[in-house]
Amino acid sequence: MKTSITHLAELLNIRSNRLLLRRSFPPWLSLLLWGSGFETLGKKAAYHVSVKVTNLWFLAEVKVSRWTEFFGNGSSPRGCWQYLYSPPVDKRTDDLQWKIVHGAIATNRYLVHLNPGTGNGCPFCSQIETLQHLFTECSRLVRLDLSVVSVSAAVPVEVFSDLLLDSPLGSKQPLTKRHRKLLLKSNVVSSSAPSGGEEEVRLQQLARTQESRRRLLADVCSKYQRGMSERGVSRRQVSRVYVEDRSRLLYCEVPKAGCSNWKRVLMVLGGSATSTRNIPHDAAHYANRLQRLESYDRATITERLRSYTKVLFVREPFERLVSAFRDKFESPNSYYHPVFGRPIISRYRANASRAALRTGAGVTFREFVQYLLDVRRPVGMDIHWTPVSQLCNPCLLRYNFIGKFESLEEEANFLLRSVGAPRNLTFPDFKDRNPHAERTSSSITQRYFAQLNSTERQKAFDFYYMDYLMFNYPKPFKDLH
């Protein structure tokens, strides 16, 4: 053994090789190579030392990484590349990532071919369960997306880019004066906003509310309009739906439920305006350049209904009705007074004056309700008081997001964050039409309906019954049934 080890040492030329002498070896290896213990090594130890020495010999002049020139001599990307091949995640997460990348997850769209009884629908929503839908489009992801948004919104982007993204993985950079200022600024912003825990709880509540509303709507539709969702969609049924392609939104316009401000938001999202504040009321309605879903061909309509986020905002039906009456008949209006006011006064007012018959001004709320409930109306319906169940066809279109006017600003901003809208875009809260008039509230609604008798109130409730049922509004009067 001693002779063979000596011979091996001579072959490797360990003692005199200048190439190896230029390298810095650990003390234990130096002792074995140049000390007295090398020749007394066992076979296994001698083999290991020989392999290590040989590798060091051939790699002495090799660069640490082929990327050294790219990253610079002062940095070593070895740690970064390590994570590409050995990601710092557990095995189950690693396997899931592999399956997602290679499309190796059996979604219902695939399983339905093996067992037709399975169905191809997503168990969380009404869409087809594909791999893309499962991980990027499903409504159940809203809560997770909003959690990420709420965390990232608390700290400026510069903090993340400077402290994390620009530095090699695992390295620590000193906290510079600029970093301290950015962190201080983020702390000031976050201290004025709700705490992270409170915000997260609120986001979860909003997400659960959406799930509950969608579930209730599905139950009502299955009971009262069974099979509606399986029917084909006509252009007339999507005539009130606006399209915003950048954010992949479909918004059904419900007058007197915040639709003017929603059109302003869609204009900003689409790039035709820079701020909601700079859009007058008439421009929002008559010069908005927004596309309606009915303007597309049938295949495009179907695809957008399948893949876009469908949005609907509703309002307490009686309150919406009173708001429409006050807006169209109690304020000067060159369209509604002659077109609707004159025939209403002519039909339902005894001994009407010539001035009222000529102008159509001065329609009372009771006359308006009589017109609404008359099966032989002297003039047709209008979108401002058409029930939402007929205007937006919720049983057919199956909306992903159902908001309510009573919490409009909070829920609208919740939706905007979930679809990735710009952070500086928030839902406007101003009222630019009849700005000095008091907003229609539940107390004002009660005053107007007090002008009706119990039979008229019951008939009005029956007229809007499906809206009350679909969107879970309580009965506004105790004597209703």
Condensed to tens digits (0 to 9), the pLDDT of residues 366-406 reads 999 999 999 999 999 999 999 999 999 999 999 999 999 99
Q: What is the mean pLDDT of residues 17-40?
A: 52
The C-alpha torsion from 248 through 252 and 254 to 259, rounded to 10°, is 20
CA-to-CA distance for 139 and 63, rounded, in angstroms? 50
Quick one: tokens of 402?
């159902």
- What is each CA distance from 169 to 67, 81, 82, 172, 173, in whole angstroms? 15, 9, 10, 9, 11
DSSP-derived pairing of the beta strands 401-404 and 291-292:
unpaired
DSSP conformation class of 404: E
pLDDT at residue 233 in the model: 92
Instruction: Quote the pLDDT of residue 170.
Output: 40
Judged by average pLDDT, the poorest of 62-71, 135-144, 209-218, 302-311 is 62-71
| Burial annotation 239-268 (CB, 10 A radius, 16+ → b, else e) | bbbbbbeebebbbbbbbbbbbbbbbbbbbb
On the question of pLDDT at 22 being above 60, the answer is no
State the chain's mean pLDDT as an integer.
80
Mutual orientation of helices 317-329 and 365-373 as an angle, nearest 10°? 120
pLDDT at 161: 46
- The predicted-structure confidence for 124-160, as pLDDT tens digits, reads as follows 666 778 887 787 777 666 555 555 555 555 555 444 4
pTM for this prediction: 0.61
